[in-house]
Amino acid sequence: MDLLKHFEQEESVFFVLKLKDGERDLLIGKLPAAYLTSYIHEQDLLARISLLGSTKQAELAEILPSEGNIKSGDFGEILSYYIFKDRHKSYPVDGPQKWRWKQEKNVAAPYTDVILYSIKNLKKPTKDDLLISVESKMKAVKNNSYHPIQNAVDGAEKDFVSRIANSLNWIKKKYKDELLKKDAPVEELKKRIGEIERFIKSETTGEYTKQINAIAYVDKTFLADETAKALTVPSLNGTKFEIFVVSIDRLQEAYEKVFEEIPKL
């Protein structure tokens, strides 16, 4: 999607991505189509419309979140999914669009916010195989007691300690559930299950590279205050750990616009 070209990047204790002046509408315009496919595969949506004699708007009303806090959280998670895919274009990563598996539209998807990975050769695993986790937090409205950067860091530490392992097992189960569906892409799903097992069974398949990330999205108005706050960063036993802060002007308006435009596609 080439999202990163819309941002200026600064580095200090963490990476700061500032949306460039004049690029806001260009960025937001790219997102609705990507968010739609993150919630439901196009073929599944068309099947629902056809089989039920329904409309895209009616079906998406049952899928897309309607509560503000869930919209906000989903927006950050899904944007993180695409931002980190962009960051790793030279070493392509992929991973499940877990929002398709949400049980309720106004409940956050469980476990680690984003899992992405790259395996060069599944038959010959190496320590260069890469597993990326991302913990995302949002601050679109004023709240003096809420520290999104620290909260993202704390969540990323939980990912490192236990949540990634739980996430991988959950993802594996969901892929197995997909196998039972009519006309399921059996070989593709078997491959994905094998990829997830490569990381689950690393004691036998071998070491791999793990990268833990925390990302906080903050309204441009709050950027200076949030980045000035004290931050406690854990030591993750030599594992690569990076922190990102993304500044977007009128952030709440931005994510509301994206969800408003999805049913119009």
Structure confidence at residue 12 (pLDDT): 86
Kindly state the DSSP code that residue 257 receives in the 8-state scheme: H
8 Å CB contact between 212 and 243: no
Residue 216: pLDDT band with limits 50, 70, 90: very high
- Look at strands 7-11 and 209-219 and give their pairing: unpaired
Q: Residue for token digits 């616009």?
A: 257
Is pLDDT at 238 greater than 90 in this prediction? no
CA end-to-end span of the chain, whole Å?
17
Structure confidence at residue 13 (pLDDT): 87
Rounded Cα distance between 204 and 128, Å, is 16
Q: Look at residues 31, 150, 33, 29 and name the one whose alpha carbon lies nearest to residue 83.
A: 31
Name the residue range of residue 233's domain: 4-264
Q: CB burial class (10 A; 0-12, 13-18, 19+) of residue 86?
A: middle
Helix (H, G, I), strand (E, B) or coil at 242: strand
pLDDT digits (tens, 9 = 90+) for 142-201: 998 999 999 999 999 999 999 999 999 999 999 999 999 989 999 999 999 999 999 999
What's the token pair of residue 72? 């906000």
Rounded Cα distance between 131 and 115, Å, is 7
What's the token pair of residue 126? 């190496």
Structure confidence at residue 109 (pLDDT): 97
How many domains are contained in the chain?
A: 1
pLDDT digits (tens, 9 = 90+) for 96-152: 999 999 999 999 999 999 999 999 999 999 999 999 999 999 999 999 899 999 999
User: Three-state secondary structure along 199-222?
Assistant: HHCHHHHCCCEEEEEEEEEEEHHH
Structure confidence at residue 240 (pLDDT): 95
Strand ranges (DSSP E) for the chain?
A: 7-11, 15-19, 114-118, 130-139, 209-219, 240-248
Rounded Cα distance between 116 and 91, Å, is 11
The reported pTM is 0.97
pLDDT digits (tens, 9 = 90+) for 15-61: 999 999 999 999 999 999 999 999 999 999 999 999 999 999 999 99
What's the token pair of residue 133? 């986790």
